[in-house]
A = this chain, B = another copy of it.
Amino acid sequence: MSEPLRLGIAGLGTVGTGVVKIVRQKANLLAARAGRPVVITAVSARTRDKDRGVRIGDYAWEDDPVKLAARDDVDVFVELMGGSDGPAKAATEAAIAAGKDVVTANKAMLAHHGQALAEAAEAAGRVIRFEAAVAGGIPVIKALTEGLAGNEIVRVMGVMNGTCNYILTRMQSAGLSYETVFEEASVLGYLEADPELDVGGIDAGHKLSLLSAIAFGAQVNFEGVELEGIGQITIEDIRAAADMGFRIKLLGVAQMGARGLEQRMSPCLVPADSPLGQLEGGTNMVVIEGDHVGQIVLRGAGAGEGPTASAVLGDVMDIARGIRPATFGRPAVELEPAKAAKGATPAPYYLRMTLQDKPGALAKIATVLGEAGVSIDRMRQYGHEDASAPVLIVTHKTQRRALDEALVAMGRLDVLVGAPVALRIETA
Protein backbone atom coordinates (compact mmCIF):
# COMPACT_ATOMS: atom_id res chain seq x y z
CA MET A 1 0.00 0.00 0.00
CA SER A 2 1.27 3.47 -0.92
CA GLU A 3 2.20 6.37 1.34
CA PRO A 4 -0.61 7.91 3.38
CA LEU A 5 -2.29 11.07 2.13
CA ARG A 6 -1.86 13.69 4.85
CA LEU A 7 -4.54 16.31 5.47
CA GLY A 8 -4.24 19.65 7.22
CA ILE A 9 -7.69 20.93 8.16
CA ALA A 10 -8.36 24.62 8.78
CA GLY A 11 -11.74 25.32 10.34
CA LEU A 12 -13.34 22.99 12.87
CA GLY A 13 -16.96 24.10 12.76
CA THR A 14 -19.75 21.73 11.80
CA VAL A 15 -18.20 20.60 8.54
CA GLY A 16 -14.59 20.41 9.76
CA THR A 17 -15.66 18.35 12.74
CA GLY A 18 -17.63 16.08 10.42
CA VAL A 19 -14.58 15.51 8.25
CA VAL A 20 -12.44 14.66 11.28
CA LYS A 21 -15.05 12.14 12.44
CA ILE A 22 -15.22 10.37 9.07
CA VAL A 23 -11.43 10.17 8.70
CA ARG A 24 -11.16 8.68 12.21
CA GLN A 25 -14.09 6.30 12.05
CA LYS A 26 -13.70 5.12 8.46
CA ALA A 27 -9.92 4.71 8.29
CA ASN A 28 -10.14 1.14 6.98
CA LEU A 29 -12.86 1.79 4.43
CA LEU A 30 -11.12 4.87 3.06
CA ALA A 31 -7.78 3.05 2.82
CA ALA A 32 -9.39 0.08 1.05
CA ARG A 33 -11.06 2.34 -1.50
CA ALA A 34 -8.13 4.71 -2.03
CA GLY A 35 -5.41 2.09 -1.96
CA ARG A 36 -3.60 4.16 0.69
CA PRO A 37 -4.36 5.50 4.16
CA VAL A 38 -5.94 8.94 4.52
CA VAL A 39 -4.77 10.65 7.71
CA ILE A 40 -5.00 14.04 9.41
CA THR A 41 -1.69 15.50 10.55
CA ALA A 42 -2.55 19.03 11.63
CA VAL A 43 -5.55 21.24 12.36
CA SER A 44 -6.30 24.89 12.92
CA ALA A 45 -9.35 26.75 14.23
CA ARG A 46 -10.25 29.91 16.07
CA THR A 47 -10.46 28.20 19.46
CA ARG A 48 -8.29 25.27 20.48
CA ASP A 49 -10.04 24.16 23.65
CA LYS A 50 -13.64 23.46 22.91
CA ASP A 51 -15.70 20.29 23.15
CA ARG A 52 -16.30 19.28 19.55
CA GLY A 53 -17.30 15.69 20.30
CA VAL A 54 -14.19 14.47 18.53
CA ARG A 55 -10.57 14.15 19.64
CA ILE A 56 -8.15 16.55 17.98
CA GLY A 57 -5.32 16.14 20.48
CA ASP A 58 -3.65 13.58 18.17
CA TYR A 59 -3.02 16.26 15.54
CA ALA A 60 -0.51 19.06 15.46
CA TRP A 61 -2.15 22.40 16.23
CA GLU A 62 -1.59 25.68 14.41
CA ASP A 63 -3.15 28.95 15.51
CA ASP A 64 -2.46 30.38 12.08
CA PRO A 65 -4.08 28.63 9.09
CA VAL A 66 -1.40 30.10 6.83
CA LYS A 67 1.23 28.21 8.77
CA LEU A 68 -0.90 25.06 8.67
CA ALA A 69 -1.20 25.33 4.89
CA ALA A 70 2.57 25.39 4.43
CA ARG A 71 3.52 22.56 6.82
CA ASP A 72 5.85 19.92 5.46
CA ASP A 73 3.67 17.11 6.81
CA VAL A 74 0.55 18.27 4.93
CA ASP A 75 -0.23 17.07 1.37
CA VAL A 76 -3.75 18.48 1.09
CA PHE A 77 -4.92 21.72 2.65
CA VAL A 78 -8.60 21.37 3.57
CA GLU A 79 -10.08 24.86 3.84
CA LEU A 80 -13.30 24.92 5.86
CA MET A 81 -13.14 28.37 7.41
CA GLY A 82 -15.30 30.30 4.96
CA GLY A 83 -15.23 33.95 3.98
CA SER A 84 -14.35 35.23 0.54
CA ASP A 85 -11.15 36.95 1.65
CA GLY A 86 -9.14 37.14 4.85
CA PRO A 87 -7.58 34.03 6.37
CA ALA A 88 -9.28 31.57 3.97
CA LYS A 89 -7.81 33.21 0.90
CA ALA A 90 -4.42 33.87 2.49
CA ALA A 91 -4.11 30.27 3.62
CA THR A 92 -5.26 28.86 0.26
CA GLU A 93 -2.67 30.98 -1.52
CA ALA A 94 -0.03 29.85 0.96
CA ALA A 95 -0.98 26.20 0.38
CA ILE A 96 -0.64 26.56 -3.39
CA ALA A 97 2.68 28.40 -3.02
CA ALA A 98 3.91 25.55 -0.84
CA GLY A 99 2.86 22.95 -3.44
CA LYS A 100 -0.20 21.55 -1.70
CA ASP A 101 -3.47 20.45 -3.23
CA VAL A 102 -6.53 22.24 -1.86
CA VAL A 103 -10.02 20.99 -0.99
CA THR A 104 -12.48 23.71 -0.01
CA ALA A 105 -16.17 24.23 0.71
CA ASN A 106 -15.81 27.97 0.21
CA LYS A 107 -18.17 29.16 -2.53
CA ALA A 108 -17.69 32.86 -1.73
CA MET A 109 -13.90 32.65 -2.09
CA LEU A 110 -14.12 30.80 -5.39
CA ALA A 111 -16.90 33.01 -6.77
CA HIS A 112 -14.66 36.03 -6.23
CA HIS A 113 -11.16 34.63 -6.65
CA GLY A 114 -11.64 31.25 -8.34
CA GLN A 115 -9.98 32.23 -11.59
CA ALA A 116 -6.80 33.57 -9.95
CA LEU A 117 -6.59 30.68 -7.49
CA ALA A 118 -7.11 28.06 -10.21
CA GLU A 119 -4.45 29.66 -12.41
CA ALA A 120 -1.99 29.71 -9.52
CA ALA A 121 -2.74 26.11 -8.56
CA GLU A 122 -2.47 24.83 -12.12
CA ALA A 123 0.77 26.71 -12.71
CA ALA A 124 2.12 24.88 -9.68
CA GLY A 125 0.72 21.53 -10.86
CA ARG A 126 -1.76 21.36 -7.99
CA VAL A 127 -5.53 20.95 -7.90
CA ILE A 128 -8.29 22.88 -6.14
CA ARG A 129 -11.40 20.79 -5.57
CA PHE A 130 -14.70 22.21 -4.28
CA GLU A 131 -17.51 19.65 -4.45
CA ALA A 132 -18.70 20.75 -1.00
CA ALA A 133 -19.10 24.36 -2.15
CA VAL A 134 -22.12 23.59 -4.36
CA ALA A 135 -25.28 21.72 -3.36
CA GLY A 136 -23.80 20.03 -0.28
CA GLY A 137 -23.64 16.26 -0.58
CA ILE A 138 -24.77 16.05 -4.22
CA PRO A 139 -21.76 15.16 -6.41
CA VAL A 140 -22.73 17.75 -9.00
CA ILE A 141 -19.29 19.24 -9.70
CA LYS A 142 -18.07 15.74 -10.51
CA ALA A 143 -21.10 14.94 -12.68
CA LEU A 144 -20.70 18.15 -14.67
CA THR A 145 -16.91 18.15 -14.96
CA GLU A 146 -16.35 14.47 -15.59
CA GLY A 147 -19.46 12.35 -16.12
CA LEU A 148 -21.01 14.69 -18.69
CA ALA A 149 -17.72 15.76 -20.31
CA GLY A 150 -18.93 14.49 -23.70
CA ASN A 151 -21.79 17.01 -23.79
CA GLU A 152 -22.20 20.58 -24.83
CA ILE A 153 -24.12 21.90 -21.82
CA VAL A 154 -27.35 23.61 -22.84
CA ARG A 155 -28.62 24.83 -19.49
CA VAL A 156 -27.96 24.36 -15.79
CA MET A 157 -30.69 25.06 -13.25
CA GLY A 158 -30.78 24.59 -9.55
CA VAL A 159 -32.40 25.12 -6.20
CA MET A 160 -29.23 25.49 -4.17
CA ASN A 161 -30.15 27.35 -1.02
CA GLY A 162 -31.96 25.04 1.37
CA THR A 163 -32.98 27.88 3.69
CA CYS A 164 -34.87 29.70 0.93
CA ASN A 165 -36.56 26.50 -0.18
CA TYR A 166 -37.49 25.76 3.40
CA ILE A 167 -39.02 29.23 3.77
CA LEU A 168 -40.99 29.03 0.51
CA THR A 169 -42.32 25.50 1.03
CA ARG A 170 -43.15 26.18 4.69
CA MET A 171 -45.08 29.33 3.71
CA GLN A 172 -47.09 27.19 1.29
CA SER A 173 -47.73 24.19 3.53
CA ALA A 174 -48.57 26.18 6.67
CA GLY A 175 -50.14 29.21 4.98
CA LEU A 176 -47.82 31.57 6.85
CA SER A 177 -46.38 34.93 5.85
CA TYR A 178 -42.79 35.42 4.72
CA GLU A 179 -42.03 37.39 7.88
CA THR A 180 -43.33 34.66 10.20
CA VAL A 181 -41.39 31.88 8.49
CA PHE A 182 -38.24 34.01 8.23
CA GLU A 183 -38.46 34.46 12.01
CA GLU A 184 -38.93 30.67 12.48
CA ALA A 185 -35.91 29.94 10.29
CA SER A 186 -33.89 32.42 12.29
CA VAL A 187 -34.83 30.78 15.61
CA LEU A 188 -34.02 27.34 14.15
CA GLY A 189 -30.55 28.58 13.21
CA TYR A 190 -31.12 28.04 9.47
CA LEU A 191 -29.98 31.53 8.47
CA GLU A 192 -26.46 32.82 7.91
CA ALA A 193 -25.22 35.53 10.30
CA ASP A 194 -26.00 37.94 7.46
CA PRO A 195 -29.40 36.62 6.28
CA GLU A 196 -29.08 38.48 2.96
CA LEU A 197 -26.55 35.80 1.95
CA ASP A 198 -29.47 33.35 2.01
CA VAL A 199 -32.67 35.24 1.26
CA GLY A 200 -30.95 37.75 -1.04
CA GLY A 201 -29.78 34.88 -3.26
CA ILE A 202 -26.08 35.72 -2.82
CA ASP A 203 -25.00 32.32 -1.49
CA ALA A 204 -26.92 30.50 -4.23
CA GLY A 205 -25.57 33.00 -6.79
CA HIS A 206 -22.01 32.10 -5.78
CA LYS A 207 -22.80 28.45 -6.43
CA LEU A 208 -24.41 29.16 -9.79
CA SER A 209 -21.35 31.12 -10.95
CA LEU A 210 -19.14 28.10 -10.21
CA LEU A 211 -21.41 25.71 -12.12
CA SER A 212 -21.49 28.13 -15.06
CA ALA A 213 -17.71 28.22 -15.31
CA ILE A 214 -17.54 24.45 -15.67
CA ALA A 215 -20.60 24.11 -17.87
CA PHE A 216 -19.62 26.77 -20.40
CA GLY A 217 -15.82 26.88 -20.18
CA ALA A 218 -16.01 30.46 -18.95
CA GLN A 219 -14.20 32.34 -16.21
CA VAL A 220 -16.20 32.58 -13.01
CA ASN A 221 -18.31 35.72 -13.29
CA PHE A 222 -20.31 36.22 -10.12
CA GLU A 223 -20.80 39.90 -10.94
CA GLY A 224 -22.64 38.73 -14.07
CA VAL A 225 -25.31 36.91 -12.05
CA GLU A 226 -28.67 38.72 -12.00
CA LEU A 227 -29.56 38.47 -8.33
CA GLU A 228 -33.01 38.78 -6.83
CA GLY A 229 -33.98 37.59 -3.37
CA ILE A 230 -37.20 36.08 -2.02
CA GLY A 231 -38.09 38.90 0.39
CA GLN A 232 -40.85 40.28 -1.82
CA ILE A 233 -42.71 36.93 -2.13
CA THR A 234 -46.02 36.98 -0.30
CA ILE A 235 -48.28 34.13 0.71
CA GLU A 236 -50.71 35.50 -1.89
CA ASP A 237 -48.09 34.94 -4.62
CA ILE A 238 -47.56 31.39 -3.45
CA ARG A 239 -51.31 30.71 -3.43
CA ALA A 240 -51.90 32.34 -6.80
CA ALA A 241 -49.00 30.37 -8.32
CA ALA A 242 -50.40 27.15 -6.84
CA ASP A 243 -53.85 27.94 -8.30
CA MET A 244 -52.27 28.11 -11.73
CA GLY A 245 -50.27 24.87 -11.29
CA PHE A 246 -46.94 26.38 -10.27
CA ARG A 247 -44.58 26.54 -7.31
CA ILE A 248 -42.28 29.45 -6.47
CA LYS A 249 -38.61 28.54 -6.05
CA LEU A 250 -35.40 30.55 -5.69
CA LEU A 251 -34.05 29.16 -8.92
CA GLY A 252 -30.64 29.54 -10.50
CA VAL A 253 -30.47 29.30 -14.27
CA ALA A 254 -27.36 29.54 -16.45
CA GLN A 255 -27.30 29.25 -20.22
CA MET A 256 -24.96 30.33 -22.99
CA GLY A 257 -26.50 32.07 -25.97
CA ALA A 258 -25.45 34.10 -28.97
CA ARG A 259 -25.45 37.23 -26.83
CA GLY A 260 -23.33 35.77 -24.05
CA LEU A 261 -23.65 33.97 -20.73
CA GLU A 262 -26.94 34.42 -18.94
CA GLN A 263 -26.93 33.71 -15.21
CA ARG A 264 -29.96 34.39 -13.07
CA MET A 265 -30.66 33.63 -9.42
CA SER A 266 -34.19 34.75 -8.73
CA PRO A 267 -37.59 33.57 -7.50
CA CYS A 268 -39.31 31.82 -10.43
CA LEU A 269 -42.51 29.94 -11.04
CA VAL A 270 -41.89 26.31 -12.05
CA PRO A 271 -44.51 23.67 -12.92
CA ALA A 272 -45.85 22.07 -9.73
CA ASP A 273 -45.45 18.57 -11.16
CA SER A 274 -41.83 19.01 -12.32
CA PRO A 275 -38.94 17.63 -10.25
CA LEU A 276 -38.05 21.21 -9.25
CA GLY A 277 -41.66 21.99 -8.35
CA GLN A 278 -41.87 18.91 -6.14
CA LEU A 279 -38.80 19.78 -4.11
CA GLU A 280 -39.73 20.31 -0.48
CA GLY A 281 -37.89 21.75 2.51
CA GLY A 282 -34.14 22.12 2.74
CA THR A 283 -33.30 19.71 -0.07
CA ASN A 284 -31.24 20.89 -3.06
CA MET A 285 -31.68 19.98 -6.71
CA VAL A 286 -29.57 20.60 -9.76
CA VAL A 287 -30.85 20.02 -13.29
CA ILE A 288 -28.26 19.71 -16.04
CA GLU A 289 -29.25 19.67 -19.70
CA GLY A 290 -26.71 18.35 -22.17
CA ASP A 291 -27.07 18.09 -25.92
CA HIS A 292 -26.61 14.31 -25.91
CA VAL A 293 -27.60 13.21 -22.43
CA GLY A 294 -30.83 15.22 -22.27
CA GLN A 295 -31.92 16.19 -18.78
CA ILE A 296 -30.13 14.88 -15.70
CA VAL A 297 -31.62 15.67 -12.29
CA LEU A 298 -29.59 15.40 -9.09
CA ARG A 299 -31.18 15.75 -5.69
CA GLY A 300 -29.95 15.56 -2.09
CA ALA A 301 -29.19 17.38 1.11
CA GLY A 302 -27.64 20.75 0.40
CA ALA A 303 -26.13 21.43 3.79
CA GLY A 304 -25.40 19.94 7.19
CA GLU A 305 -22.45 18.17 8.77
CA GLY A 306 -22.79 14.76 7.13
CA PRO A 307 -23.63 15.77 3.54
CA THR A 308 -21.02 18.52 3.35
CA ALA A 309 -18.33 16.36 4.96
CA SER A 310 -19.24 13.61 2.48
CA ALA A 311 -18.51 16.01 -0.38
CA VAL A 312 -15.18 17.07 1.16
CA LEU A 313 -14.22 13.41 1.55
CA GLY A 314 -15.17 12.71 -2.08
CA ASP A 315 -12.59 15.30 -3.16
CA VAL A 316 -10.00 14.02 -0.69
CA MET A 317 -10.51 10.46 -1.95
CA ASP A 318 -10.09 11.62 -5.54
CA ILE A 319 -6.73 13.17 -4.67
CA ALA A 320 -5.74 10.02 -2.79
CA ARG A 321 -6.54 8.00 -5.94
CA GLY A 322 -4.74 10.35 -8.29
CA ILE A 323 -7.93 11.79 -9.81
CA ARG A 324 -6.88 15.36 -10.62
CA PRO A 325 -9.11 17.17 -13.12
CA ALA A 326 -8.60 20.88 -13.72
CA THR A 327 -10.50 23.06 -11.24
CA PHE A 328 -13.13 24.18 -13.75
CA GLY A 329 -12.86 21.19 -16.08
CA ARG A 330 -10.27 22.64 -18.44
CA PRO A 331 -7.04 24.55 -17.84
CA ALA A 332 -7.87 27.86 -16.12
CA VAL A 333 -5.75 29.86 -18.57
CA GLU A 334 -7.97 28.58 -21.39
CA LEU A 335 -11.27 29.69 -19.84
CA GLU A 336 -12.91 32.47 -21.81
CA PRO A 337 -13.94 35.71 -20.09
CA ALA A 338 -17.71 35.46 -19.94
CA LYS A 339 -19.71 38.25 -21.51
CA ALA A 340 -22.78 38.69 -19.33
CA ALA A 341 -26.03 38.63 -21.31
CA LYS A 342 -28.60 39.77 -18.78
CA GLY A 343 -32.21 38.92 -19.45
CA ALA A 344 -31.48 37.54 -22.90
CA THR A 345 -33.83 34.57 -23.01
CA PRO A 346 -37.51 35.44 -23.26
CA ALA A 347 -39.98 33.79 -20.91
CA PRO A 348 -43.54 34.17 -19.73
CA TYR A 349 -43.87 36.25 -16.55
CA TYR A 350 -46.19 36.34 -13.57
CA LEU A 351 -47.19 39.85 -12.50
CA ARG A 352 -48.90 40.79 -9.27
CA MET A 353 -50.06 44.31 -8.62
CA THR A 354 -52.64 46.21 -6.64
CA LEU A 355 -54.79 48.73 -8.49
CA GLN A 356 -56.72 51.66 -7.15
CA ASP A 357 -60.38 50.86 -7.51
CA LYS A 358 -61.26 53.44 -10.11
CA PRO A 359 -62.77 53.06 -13.57
CA GLY A 360 -60.39 52.16 -16.37
CA ALA A 361 -57.44 51.26 -14.15
CA LEU A 362 -57.14 47.74 -15.53
CA ALA A 363 -57.57 48.95 -19.09
CA LYS A 364 -54.70 51.37 -18.63
CA ILE A 365 -52.42 48.57 -17.37
CA ALA A 366 -53.36 46.36 -20.32
CA THR A 367 -52.67 49.21 -22.72
CA VAL A 368 -49.24 49.89 -21.26
CA LEU A 369 -48.32 46.20 -21.54
CA GLY A 370 -49.51 46.10 -25.13
CA GLU A 371 -47.55 49.22 -26.05
CA ALA A 372 -44.37 47.60 -24.66
CA GLY A 373 -45.06 44.54 -26.83
CA VAL A 374 -45.98 42.34 -23.86
CA SER A 375 -49.05 40.25 -24.56
CA ILE A 376 -51.29 38.88 -21.86
CA ASP A 377 -51.98 35.16 -21.56
CA ARG A 378 -54.20 35.20 -18.48
CA MET A 379 -55.47 37.85 -16.11
CA ARG A 380 -57.36 37.63 -12.81
CA GLN A 381 -58.83 40.32 -10.69
CA TYR A 382 -59.71 39.13 -7.20
CA GLY A 383 -62.73 40.20 -5.22
CA HIS A 384 -61.93 42.93 -2.71
CA GLU A 385 -63.55 45.01 -0.01
CA ASP A 386 -61.43 48.09 0.27
CA ALA A 387 -60.54 50.65 -2.37
CA SER A 388 -57.75 48.64 -3.97
CA ALA A 389 -57.95 45.58 -6.19
CA PRO A 390 -55.37 42.75 -6.38
CA VAL A 391 -54.66 41.77 -9.99
CA LEU A 392 -52.65 38.86 -11.38
CA ILE A 393 -51.40 38.70 -14.94
CA VAL A 394 -49.55 35.93 -16.74
CA THR A 395 -47.86 37.15 -19.89
CA HIS A 396 -46.88 35.28 -23.01
CA LYS A 397 -43.15 34.90 -23.62
CA THR A 398 -41.48 38.27 -23.55
CA GLN A 399 -38.08 39.88 -23.18
CA ARG A 400 -37.41 41.06 -19.67
CA ARG A 401 -36.43 44.42 -21.17
CA ALA A 402 -39.89 44.92 -22.65
CA LEU A 403 -41.49 43.99 -19.36
CA ASP A 404 -39.29 46.43 -17.45
CA GLU A 405 -40.32 49.17 -19.86
CA ALA A 406 -43.94 48.37 -19.17
CA LEU A 407 -43.35 48.38 -15.41
CA VAL A 408 -41.78 51.83 -15.60
CA ALA A 409 -44.69 53.11 -17.67
CA MET A 410 -47.19 51.63 -15.20
CA GLY A 411 -45.50 53.50 -12.40
CA ARG A 412 -46.33 56.76 -14.17
CA LEU A 413 -50.03 55.90 -14.52
CA ASP A 414 -51.12 56.76 -11.01
CA VAL A 415 -53.36 53.70 -10.73
CA LEU A 416 -50.98 51.38 -8.80
CA VAL A 417 -50.94 50.86 -5.05
CA GLY A 418 -47.33 49.94 -4.19
CA ALA A 419 -44.86 48.38 -6.64
CA PRO A 420 -45.81 45.44 -8.87
CA VAL A 421 -44.01 42.09 -8.46
CA ALA A 422 -42.74 40.34 -11.61
CA LEU A 423 -41.60 36.71 -11.46
CA ARG A 424 -40.25 34.70 -14.36
CA ILE A 425 -41.94 31.43 -15.27
CA GLU A 426 -39.23 28.87 -16.01
CA THR A 427 -40.42 25.75 -17.78
CA ALA A 428 -38.45 22.56 -18.30
Contact = CB atoms under 8 A, between A and B. Distances in A.
Contact of A137 (B18, B22, B296): B296
Interface string A116-145: 000000000000000100000111001100
Interface centre among A30, A137, A292, A306 (most CB of B within 10 A): A292
Interface of A is mostly: mixed
A32 B293 contact: no
Interface stretch (A149-157, A180-188, A234-242, A360-368): A149-157
A310 B323 contact: no
Interface string A278-292: 100000000000111
Interface stretch (A69-77, A85-93, A200-208, A329-337): A329-337
Contacts of A278: 273, 275, 278
Interface in A295-309: 295-301, 304, 306-307, 309
B139 A314 contact: no
A55 interface: no
Interface of A: 18, 22, 26, 29-30, 32-35, 131, 137-139, 142-143, 146-152, 217, 273, 275, 278, 290-301, 304, 306-307, 309-314, 316-318, 321-326, 329-331, 334
A330 B22 CA distance: 18
A292 B317 contact: no
A138 B322 contact: no
Contacts of A217: 32-33
9 contacts: A137-B292, A139-B142, A139-B296, A146-B318, A149-B318, A150-B309, A278-B278, A296-B299, A297-B299
A301 B294 contact: yes
The 3 closest A-B pairs by CB, nearest first: A150-B313, A139-B147, A292-B306
